[in-house]
Amino acid sequence: MVSQMSRHPLALKLEILDDDVKLSNYINELLSTDPRRVEEVRKLIGDTSRSGYRRVHEHLAVILDRLAATLDRLISGLEAGSGELKGSLLGLSKALILVKYQLARDQISNDLANILIGIIRKLMSDISKMMESKEPTSEELKKLREKVERARTIIDCLAVLVYRLKR
Protein backbone atom coordinates (compact mmCIF):
# COMPACT_ATOMS: atom_id res chain seq x y z
CA MET A 1 0.00 0.00 0.00
CA VAL A 2 1.28 3.44 -0.92
CA SER A 3 1.52 5.94 1.86
CA GLN A 4 1.38 9.63 1.02
CA MET A 5 3.95 10.49 3.66
CA SER A 6 7.12 8.77 2.54
CA ARG A 7 9.99 8.85 4.97
CA HIS A 8 12.57 8.54 2.21
CA PRO A 9 15.12 11.42 2.30
CA LEU A 10 14.48 12.09 -1.40
CA ALA A 11 10.69 11.99 -1.19
CA LEU A 12 9.06 14.72 -3.26
CA LYS A 13 7.87 17.74 -1.36
CA LEU A 14 4.97 19.12 -3.39
CA GLU A 15 6.15 22.73 -3.04
CA ILE A 16 8.94 21.75 -5.43
CA LEU A 17 6.32 21.95 -8.19
CA ASP A 18 5.83 25.64 -7.35
CA ASP A 19 9.42 26.88 -7.50
CA ASP A 20 12.25 26.60 -10.03
CA VAL A 21 14.99 26.94 -7.39
CA LYS A 22 13.51 24.15 -5.26
CA LEU A 23 13.13 22.02 -8.39
CA SER A 24 16.75 22.64 -9.37
CA ASN A 25 17.96 21.71 -5.89
CA TYR A 26 15.86 18.53 -5.93
CA ILE A 27 17.16 17.50 -9.36
CA ASN A 28 20.73 18.15 -8.20
CA GLU A 29 20.14 15.94 -5.16
CA LEU A 30 18.73 13.16 -7.33
CA LEU A 31 21.63 13.34 -9.79
CA SER A 32 24.36 13.79 -7.17
CA THR A 33 27.42 11.57 -7.33
CA ASP A 34 27.94 11.82 -3.57
CA PRO A 35 28.15 8.16 -2.41
CA ARG A 36 25.59 8.71 0.37
CA ARG A 37 23.15 10.34 -2.05
CA VAL A 38 23.71 7.60 -4.65
CA GLU A 39 22.75 5.02 -2.03
CA GLU A 40 19.60 6.99 -1.19
CA VAL A 41 18.72 7.10 -4.90
CA ARG A 42 19.25 3.33 -5.15
CA LYS A 43 16.79 2.86 -2.29
CA LEU A 44 14.33 5.26 -3.93
CA ILE A 45 14.44 3.34 -7.21
CA GLY A 46 14.31 0.03 -5.31
CA ASP A 47 13.05 -2.88 -7.40
CA THR A 48 11.73 -0.64 -10.16
CA SER A 49 12.16 -2.23 -13.56
CA ARG A 50 13.10 -0.22 -16.62
CA SER A 51 10.06 -1.41 -18.53
CA GLY A 52 7.74 -0.75 -15.59
CA TYR A 53 8.89 2.84 -15.26
CA ARG A 54 9.02 3.33 -19.03
CA ARG A 55 5.31 2.47 -19.29
CA VAL A 56 4.42 4.99 -16.60
CA HIS A 57 6.77 7.64 -17.98
CA GLU A 58 5.51 7.36 -21.56
CA HIS A 59 1.89 7.63 -20.50
CA LEU A 60 2.41 10.49 -18.05
CA ALA A 61 4.75 12.38 -20.39
CA VAL A 62 2.14 12.40 -23.16
CA ILE A 63 -0.50 13.69 -20.75
CA LEU A 64 1.78 16.41 -19.39
CA ASP A 65 2.83 17.49 -22.87
CA ARG A 66 -0.82 17.70 -24.02
CA LEU A 67 -1.75 19.62 -20.89
CA ALA A 68 1.12 22.04 -21.48
CA ALA A 69 -0.02 22.60 -25.08
CA THR A 70 -3.61 23.19 -23.93
CA LEU A 71 -2.41 25.70 -21.35
CA ASP A 72 -0.26 27.46 -23.96
CA ARG A 73 -3.33 27.84 -26.20
CA LEU A 74 -5.43 29.13 -23.30
CA ILE A 75 -2.73 31.59 -22.24
CA SER A 76 -2.34 32.96 -25.76
CA GLY A 77 -6.09 33.46 -26.01
CA LEU A 78 -6.59 31.06 -28.90
CA GLU A 79 -9.16 29.19 -26.83
CA ALA A 80 -11.54 30.43 -24.19
CA GLY A 81 -12.65 28.76 -21.01
CA SER A 82 -11.38 25.96 -18.83
CA GLY A 83 -13.36 23.21 -20.59
CA GLU A 84 -10.20 22.09 -22.37
CA LEU A 85 -8.71 21.14 -19.02
CA LYS A 86 -11.40 18.53 -18.34
CA GLY A 87 -9.75 15.96 -20.61
CA SER A 88 -6.51 16.37 -18.68
CA LEU A 89 -8.24 15.18 -15.52
CA LEU A 90 -9.25 11.96 -17.23
CA GLY A 91 -5.72 11.44 -18.55
CA LEU A 92 -4.20 12.07 -15.13
CA SER A 93 -6.73 9.68 -13.57
CA LYS A 94 -5.61 7.00 -16.02
CA ALA A 95 -1.97 7.74 -15.18
CA LEU A 96 -2.77 7.33 -11.48
CA ILE A 97 -4.33 3.94 -12.21
CA LEU A 98 -1.27 2.92 -14.23
CA VAL A 99 1.12 3.89 -11.41
CA LYS A 100 -0.92 1.89 -8.91
CA TYR A 101 -1.07 -1.04 -11.34
CA GLN A 102 2.70 -1.04 -11.85
CA LEU A 103 3.16 -0.81 -8.08
CA ALA A 104 0.83 -3.77 -7.52
CA ARG A 105 2.84 -5.74 -10.09
CA ASP A 106 6.08 -4.81 -8.24
CA GLN A 107 7.34 -3.02 -11.34
CA ILE A 108 8.04 0.24 -9.50
CA SER A 109 9.12 0.88 -5.94
CA ASN A 110 6.81 2.25 -3.27
CA ASP A 111 8.93 5.41 -2.87
CA LEU A 112 8.98 6.06 -6.60
CA ALA A 113 5.22 5.46 -6.79
CA ASN A 114 4.71 7.97 -3.97
CA ILE A 115 6.54 10.63 -5.97
CA LEU A 116 4.49 9.98 -9.10
CA ILE A 117 1.20 9.79 -7.20
CA GLY A 118 2.01 13.04 -5.42
CA ILE A 119 2.70 14.80 -8.73
CA ILE A 120 -0.46 13.45 -10.36
CA ARG A 121 -2.72 14.26 -7.42
CA LYS A 122 -1.29 17.77 -7.07
CA LEU A 123 -1.92 18.52 -10.74
CA MET A 124 -5.42 17.02 -10.57
CA SER A 125 -6.20 19.16 -7.54
CA ASP A 126 -4.89 22.34 -9.16
CA ILE A 127 -6.80 21.69 -12.40
CA SER A 128 -10.00 20.93 -10.48
CA LYS A 129 -9.70 24.18 -8.53
CA MET A 130 -9.06 26.09 -11.73
CA MET A 131 -12.11 24.55 -13.39
CA GLU A 132 -14.27 25.65 -10.46
CA SER A 133 -13.52 29.29 -11.22
CA LYS A 134 -15.64 30.78 -14.00
CA GLU A 135 -12.69 31.88 -16.10
CA PRO A 136 -9.09 31.26 -15.01
CA THR A 137 -6.82 34.26 -15.29
CA SER A 138 -3.79 34.30 -17.53
CA GLU A 139 -1.60 34.35 -14.41
CA GLU A 140 -3.30 31.22 -13.00
CA LEU A 141 -2.85 29.45 -16.32
CA LYS A 142 0.83 30.43 -16.46
CA LYS A 143 1.44 29.13 -12.94
CA LEU A 144 -0.20 25.82 -13.80
CA ARG A 145 1.83 25.65 -17.02
CA GLU A 146 5.05 26.11 -15.02
CA LYS A 147 3.96 23.40 -12.58
CA VAL A 148 3.35 21.00 -15.47
CA GLU A 149 6.81 21.75 -16.86
CA ARG A 150 8.39 21.08 -13.46
CA ALA A 151 6.46 17.80 -13.17
CA ARG A 152 7.74 16.76 -16.60
CA THR A 153 11.30 17.59 -15.52
CA ILE A 154 10.97 15.40 -12.43
CA ILE A 155 9.61 12.38 -14.30
CA ASP A 156 12.38 12.74 -16.90
CA CYS A 157 15.03 12.89 -14.16
CA LEU A 158 13.56 9.77 -12.57
CA ALA A 159 13.76 8.02 -15.95
CA VAL A 160 17.49 8.82 -16.10
CA LEU A 161 17.97 7.33 -12.64
CA VAL A 162 15.98 4.18 -13.39
CA TYR A 163 17.92 3.55 -16.59
CA ARG A 164 21.24 4.32 -14.92
CA LEU A 165 20.69 2.08 -11.91
CA LYS A 166 18.56 -0.82 -13.13
CA ARG A 167 19.04 -3.85 -15.33
DSSP 93-158: HHHHHHHHHHHHTTSS-HHHHHHHHHHHHHHHHHHHHHHHSSS--HHHHHHHHHHHHHHHHHHHHH
Q: Is residue 3 predicted with pLDDT exceeding 60? A: no
Q: Whole domain around residue 89: which residue ranges?
A: 14-29+49-165
Helices and strands (H, E) in the chain, number of each type: 6, 0
4: pLDDT confidence band, cut at 50, 70 and 90? very low
- CB-side neighbour CA atoms (13 Å) of 4: 6
2: pLDDT confidence band, cut at 50, 70 and 90? very low
State the CATH number of the domain containing residue 149. 1.20.120
User: Is residue 147 domain-resident?
Assistant: yes
Domain count, the chain: 1
User: Is residue 101 domain-resident?
Assistant: yes
User: Is residue 5 domain-resident?
Assistant: no
Q: If you average pLDDT over residues 84-104, what whole number do you get?
A: 92
Of 16, 13, 6, whose CA–CA distance to 46 is shortest?
Answer: 6
* Predicted pLDDT of residue 167: 56
User: Is residue 44 domain-resident?
Assistant: no
User: Is residue 80 domain-resident?
Assistant: yes
* Predicted pLDDT of residue 138: 85
Q: If you average pLDDT over residues 67-73, what whole number do you get?
A: 91
User: Is residue 73 domain-resident?
Assistant: yes
Task: Report the alpha-carbon distance of residue 33 to residue 35 in Å, rounded.
Answer: 6
User: Is residue 35 domain-resident?
Assistant: no
- CB-side neighbour CA atoms (13 Å) of 116: 38
Q: If you average pLDDT over residues 47-57, what whole number do you get?
A: 95
User: Is residue 139 domain-resident?
Assistant: yes
pTM (two decimals): 0.89
* Predicted pLDDT of residue 83: 64
Q: What is the mean pLDDT of the chain?
A: 89
38: exposed, middle or buried (Cβ count in 10 Å: 0-12, 13-18, 19+)? middle
